[in-house]
Amino acid sequence: MAELSKYQQSIVKNYYANLDTALLQRLGEQVTDLYLAEGKKRDKVWASVVTSLTKLGVPKSRIDQLHKSDDARKLATLVQELLAKD
């Protein structure tokens, strides 16, 4: 693999430094998608939500509880909690 220039290294460093913020923003968008989704689309959105929550370090038990309830309002509440911590 090729060596990265200093500029490229700074881009990669900034990406990982701001990854939590980007994931929280994406999670907020996913809440909206979840409100609007039905059927198979809703299952795909939940899969994406579970992935985002896992990357953010939310305990698996809480993720499973949210997914089982299938309630976008509870997910929105969790997003607000995570934003308050950030």
pLDDT score, position 45: 94
pLDDT score, position 5: 93
- Which among 72, 67, 70, 86 has a CA at the least distance from the CA of 23? 86
Summarize the confidence of residues 12-20 as an average pLDDT: 91
- Which among 16, 61, 74 has a CA at the least distance from the CA of 82? 74
- Residue 33 contacts by C-beta under 8 Å, 6 or more apart in sequence? 45
pLDDT surpasses 70 at 9: yes
Summarize the confidence of residues 48-71 as an average pLDDT: 94
pLDDT score, position 1: 59
Summarize the confidence of residues 5-34 as an average pLDDT: 93
pLDDT score, position 85: 83
Separation CA 48–CA 44 (nearest Å): 6
